[in-house]
Structure 1
Amino acid sequence: MENGALTQGEGKDPSGWLSEIIGHPVTVKLNSGVVYKGELQSVDGYMNIALEKTEEYVNGAKRRSYGDAFVRGNNVMYIAAD
């Protein structure tokens, strides 16, 4: 670390960022490749995720829409803010 700059993966805690994007649109990709897009309502320390106004995409094609969706954290590959 030079001049106080953080290197990738050093000293970053994602919980602060995740709490900042509550209520915002996100993309959640699962280990299976399925993608959910919706409004982030909550996320816990296990990466369990609650979404509203959710759309499910399989192989890039929209498959279903859900009012609410709950994703178990061990299935999550990543969460991205839209």
Structure 2
Amino acid sequence: MENGAVSQWEGKDPASFLAGIIGSPVTVKLNSGVVYKGELQSVDGYMNIALEKTEEYVDGAKKRSYGDAFVRGNNVMYISAD
């Protein structure tokens, strides 16, 4: 994120942050180390995530592309706005 974007979210709770980045590109890292990059479509209170235009990376190498992907929240380590 750019420096200005960081201050925009400073002091906000995670739910507000996530609601504010719907439709934006994100990186989602799972507890297993697998990384998904795509456009955030929705997220719920359990951190279940729906992505579009998704790419899967394992050990830094692109493995697959998906149109849509759903990630169960208990697998999510973090979500980062790109």
2:52 corresponds to which residue?
52
TM-score of the two chains, using structure 2 as the length reference: 0.86
Gaps (5+ residues) in structure 2?
A: 1-10
Shift in Å at residue 13 of structure 1?
1.7
- Paired-residue identity, %: 88
1:62 corresponds to which residue?
62
TM-score of the two chains, using structure 1 as the length reference: 0.86
Flag as ranges the 4+ runs of structure 1 deviating above 3 A: none
2:71 corresponds to which residue?
71
Query: Matched residue pairs, number?
Result: 72
Q: Which has the higher helix share?
A: 2
Gaps (5+ residues) in structure 1?
A: 1-10
Measure the CA separation in 2 of the matches of 1:12 and 1:67. 31
Shift in Å at residue 30 of structure 1?
0.0
Please tell me whether Structure 1 or Structure 2 has the larger radius of gyration of its CA atoms.
1
